[in-house]
């Protein structure tokens, strides 16, 4: 709960402290690292990249069969795409490989489980996290390089994540074709 509060309130120092001292699961730690990296992307690119470098081994600590592993790698790819786009492609490729090993990964059910426990009290909730899903990243990748995005989408062995990626690419293409063309401006007379 503190981690989500730190991101929503753009409290970077609190988020960094939680990474150091907080009792977070691997997926929660990756989420916090990637969100902090996004917040720092414009003001401190080096720190942002450093946080993503910390997120990568944290994602690899998640069990190979756990669907949270490809979700974590997709979150890293989403952040890298903003900060260092060329490395984002490699991260998506790694997420596709992880998805092929994870049981039950659909590419569309990216939730962050939040559990708060105190003496005599506990609370649990799920928070939808688009950075964990296939849809967002593949639409953006199609914008950068359509052919490469299609090739990556074909790398999914599971029907559900492959379909989600292909649909995201198709939606991008359809939106591009239906977007109104810019109206030409008349030449200014001097």
The three-class DSSP label of residue 16 is: helix
Model-level pTM? 0.83
Q: Is the pLDDT of residue 187 over 60?
A: no
Read off the pLDDT of residues 61-74 as tens digits, 9 standing for 90 and up: 999 999 999 999 99
Q: What's the structural domain count of the chain?
A: 1
Quick one: 84 exposed, middle or buried, by C-beta within 10 A (0-12, 13-18, 19+)? Answer: middle
- What are the Cα distances from residue 28, in Å, to 33, 45, 61, 105, 128? 9, 22, 12, 18, 13
Residue pair 37/48 in contact (Cβ under 8 Å)? The answer is yes
Is 151 part of any domain?
yes
Is 183 part of any domain?
no
Q: Which domain holds residue 74?
A: 2-177
Is 73 part of any domain?
yes
What would the two tokens of residue 2 be? Answer: 């503190």
Is 30 part of any domain?
yes
Is 190 part of any domain?
no
Quick one: 62 exposed, middle or buried, by C-beta within 10 A (0-12, 13-18, 19+)? Answer: buried
Is 26 part of any domain?
yes
Is 143 part of any domain?
yes
Is 185 part of any domain?
no
CATH number for 61: 1.25.40
Indicate the pLDDT class of residue 37, thresholds 50, 70 and 90: very high
Q: What confidence score (pLDDT) does residue 188 get? A: 56
Residue pair 165/112 in contact (Cβ under 8 Å)? The answer is no
């Amino acid at each position: 709960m503190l981690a989500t509060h730190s991101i929503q309130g753009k409290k970077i120092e609190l988020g960094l402290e939680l990474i150091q001292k907080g009792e977070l699961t691997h997926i929660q730690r990756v989420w916090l690292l990637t969100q902090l990296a996004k917040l720092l992307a414009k003001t401190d690119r080096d720190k942002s990249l450093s946080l993503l470098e910390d997120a990568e081994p944290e994602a690899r600590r998640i069990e190979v069969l756990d669907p949270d592993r490809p979700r974590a790698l997709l979150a890293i790819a989403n952040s890298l795409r903003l900060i260092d786009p060329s490395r984002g492609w490699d991260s998506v490729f790694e997420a596709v490989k992880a998805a092929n090993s994870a049981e039950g990964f659909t590419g569309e059910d990216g939730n962050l489980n939040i559990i708060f426990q105190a003496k005599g009290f506990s609370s649990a909730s799920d928070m939808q996290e688009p950075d964990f899903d296939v849809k967002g990243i593949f639409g953006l990748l199609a914008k950068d390089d359509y052919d490469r995005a299609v090739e990556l989408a074909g790398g999914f062995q599971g029907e559900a994540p492959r379909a989600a990626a292909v649909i995201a690419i198709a939606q991008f293409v359809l939106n591009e074709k239906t977007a109104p063309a810019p109206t030409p401006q008349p030449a200014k007379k001097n």
